[in-house]
Amino acid sequence: MMQAETVARGVTDTPSRYPEAGARRIIGYVGRLSTLDHTPLAGRDIICVGYSDWGKDLLTNEQHLLTRLARDNRILFVESLGIRRPQLAGRDLRRIGRRLVRALRPLREMDGVHVLSPLLIPLHGKPLADRLNRALLPFVVRRAARQLGLRDPVLWSFMPQAEPLIDALSPAAVIYYVDDDHAAKKGIDGDSFRAAEARFARRADA
């Protein structure tokens, strides 16, 4: 695996095992991309696992960041893995319906980013659902990566549930970008999320 210093030089002096510290360095680095003539993250294939779906009226932090990175890199964005337990309410039911429709469609390109809608079981923290998702996620992401011809990708994730992709993809580097305390959010199994976060952070380069 390529060292993080090679792929994200300027992000951090040494690979961080503390995701919050690494995220602050990454945020500062990415904020300077528009002023650099040459950036270490250029001409790369990047697979990014996000916490939200692409295409909302108001772009999220991750969408702003990836749209900028897409100017010089080829990016596959994997939409939300469904870590919050859905409720039998209109909003969640509509979201589930949209995900079912999108999952049956081919990859779509938005703002220069290739977007994948994985069809996973939205019951994070439940042992059976977690086991199934750990098998499904690598399958759908590898298939999309082959379709796009991605090579030696950087795995950049906002969610620790992307850990199965480390073994499945053998990425050049693993970046864990922490921008919020997702474990504290309503509807999320905080203990399970923090355990997943600790595992992923130990394996991340930055």
User: Does residue 16 surpass a pLDDT of 50?
Assistant: no
Mean pLDDT of the chain: 75
Q: Which one-letter amino acid corresponds to residue 29?
A: Y
- Where residue 95 sits, what CATH number does that domain have? 3.40.50
How many domains are there within the chain? 1
Structural domain including 39 reads 4-203
Residues 6+ apart with CB under 8 A from 76: 45, 46, 47, 48, 107, 113, 114, 116, 141, 144, 145, 148, 150, 153
Q: Is the pTM of this model over 0.75?
A: no
Q: Across residues 59-75, what is the average pLDDT?
A: 88
Q: Strand pairing of 108-110 and 74-78? A: unpaired
Cβ atoms 197, 124 nearer than 8 A = no
pLDDT in tens, 81-137: 766 665 555 555 565 556 555 556 668 898 899 999 887 776 666 778 788 888 989
195 confidence band (pLDDT: 50, 70, 90): confident
Residues 112, 140: Cα–Cα separation, whole Å: 21
14 pLDDT band, cuts 50/70/90, is: very low
pLDDT of residue 78: 94
Under the banding of pLDDT at 50, 70 and 90, the label for residue 22 is very low
Per-residue model confidence (pLDDT) at position 178: 83
Q: Residue 37, Cα to own-chain centre: how many angstroms?
A: 26
